[in-house]
């Protein structure tokens, strides 16, 4: 997978493309990126700006962190369930 372009570079390319002074094909060529890459960046910028429906970068980050937290809580719950079963079994045998 190619190394991602810096955020500042993307922002400049998007700003130039949005000005509409040149066709997207020309803007992409001038900046050394593919036309499809530029189209993806523009689509993503539209989502970030609220002009197009979709999940923003902040929402995506939050969702990823919540899923990670949920996995951790599920693991902790399973450990507690197993510990409770073990302790309950020990109490039954000890009597």
Residue 12 is predicted with a pLDDT of 96
Average pLDDT over residues 38-45: 95
Measuring CA to CA, how many Å separate 41 from each of 25, 30, 56, 69, 92? 13, 15, 13, 30, 63
The pLDDT tens digits for 43-56 are 999 999 988 888 88
Residue 3 is predicted with a pLDDT of 75
Percent of the chain surpassing pLDDT 70: 93
- With 90 as the cut, is the pLDDT of residue 64 above it? yes
Average pLDDT over residues 10-38: 95
**Sign of the C-alpha dihedral, residues 37, 42, 45, 46?**
negative
According to CATH, the topology of domain 1-54 is Arc Repressor Mutant, subunit A (1.10.10)
Mean pLDDT of all residues in the chain?
91
């Amino acid at each position: 997978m190619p190394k991602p372009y810096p955020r500042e570079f993307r922002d400049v390319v998007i700003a130039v493309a949005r000005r509409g002074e040149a066709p997207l094909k020309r803007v992409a060529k001038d900046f050394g990126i593919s036309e499809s890459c530029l189209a993806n960046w523009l689509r993503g910028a539209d989502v970030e700006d609220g002009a197009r429906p979709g999940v923003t970068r902040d929402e995506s980050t939050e969702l990823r962190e919540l899923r990670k937290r949920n996995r951790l809580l599920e693991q902790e719950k399973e450990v507690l369930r197993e510990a409770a079963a073990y302790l309950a079994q020990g109490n039954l045998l000890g009597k």
